[in-house]
Amino acid sequence: MIRKIIPKKTLEQSIFASFFRQVWTEGRLIFTRGINFRSRDNQSAREAYRKMQLREFEGINARQRWANWRTIPRNLERCLPKEAVFAVDLCCGTGHSTEVLVYYLPVESKILGLEFNPDFVESARKKTFKHRTGKSVQVSFRAQSVLETFRDSSGSELADASVDLVNSCGAVGSHFDPSMTAVLVQEVSRVLKSGGLALIDSGLPGTNKKQLVEIFEGHGFETLGSAKSSILDLFTQVCFRKKS
């Protein structure tokens, strides 16, 4: 099922158009507004995203949006849950990674997106998210840093061992150095149930794949595999399972 959908969804957006949109928007951001979001220092990256307008974010995130439709399903293919789940999408931006989770996870699932920029959260809240069957799925968002205790949209702390799946795209591999990822993993581990899944992106600018695996395996996770959008992709999303 997943293999049939990936080509359909990624053909809806041209990779060439997405790539050029990103390069054009990023160039304009740097040269006309002095905003450079490519930082492994998490605070600097967050500040840069805060200065962006929504249409600028949609531009610089165009390639990421295309890649999400290939990377997340390739990882889910090895472990797609059959029963409804509670999933958390870390650093969800305006919901480009959330829409892929909504599309694939079982229809009764609940999905919570956590994102630092409140304007991105507002934009995500206005979107309609549809499961592949066309049904609406329960999606909520909260503006917060994922380096703090995870909370739901009403501000209540997520309970220990209450989450089935955590996802991250375009974040840890770009904007979290290993010391920040070591902070993040503790909260991911706290909220995940035993056997819960963590799909976490890695990349040279932030935390690379080897460092990510070391950090997660050091916190009681086993590595199930990994996925890229294409062989040219410089980022890899690693699929972990929390050991019992």
Query: Alpha-carbon distance 205 to 170, whole Å?
Result: 11
Q: Does 25 bind ligand SAM (CB under 6 A)?
A: no
- Residue (of 179, 161, 117, 109) closest to 139 by Cα position: 109
Helix (H, G, I), strand (E, B) or coil at 179: helix
Query: Alpha-carbon distance 16 to 210, whole Å?
Result: 30
Sites for ligand SAM among residues 105-144 (CB under 6 A): 114-117, 120
Query: Alpha-carbon distance 191 to 205, whole Å?
Result: 27
CB of 241 to ligand SAM, least distance (A): 21
Q: Give the residue with the Cβ less far from ligand SAM, 108 or 148.
A: 148
Run of H or E including 236: strand 236-242
Sites for ligand SAM among residues 189-228 (CB under 6 A): none
Contact 111/138 with Cβ under 8 angstroms?
yes
Among residues 9, 28, 46, 132, the one that binds ligand SAM under rule CB under 6 A: 46
Please name every residue paired with 226 in a beta bridge, in sequence order, or none if there are none. Answer: 238
Q: Does 146 bind ligand SAM (CB under 6 A)?
A: yes
Q: Does 173 bind ligand SAM (CB under 6 A)?
A: no
Pairing of strands 163-168, 138-143: unpaired
Q: Give the residue with the Cβ less far from ligand SAM, 117 or 194.
A: 117
Other beta carbons less than 10 A from residue 44's beta carbon:
14
Q: Give the residue with the Cβ less far from ligand SAM, 116 or 216.
A: 116
Sites for ligand SAM among residues 61-100 (CB under 6 A): 61, 64-65, 68, 91-93, 96-97
Q: Give the residue with the Cβ less far from ligand SAM, 82 or 126.
A: 126
Query: Alpha-carbon distance 66 to 182, whole Å?
Result: 28
Say how many residues touch ligand SAM, by CB under 6 A.
25
Q: Give the residue with the Cβ less far from ligand SAM, 70 or 175.
A: 175
Place of tokens 């089935």: 164
CB of 97 to ligand SAM, least distance (A): 4
CB of 225 to ligand SAM, least distance (A): 20
Query: Alpha-carbon distance 239 to 30, whole Å?
Result: 34
CB of 72 to ligand SAM, least distance (A): 9
Q: What residues contact 218, with CB distance under 8 A and at least 6 apart? A: none
Residues in touch with ligand SAM (CB under 6 A): 42, 45-46, 49, 61, 64-65, 68, 91-93, 96-97, 114-117, 120, 145-147, 169-171, 175
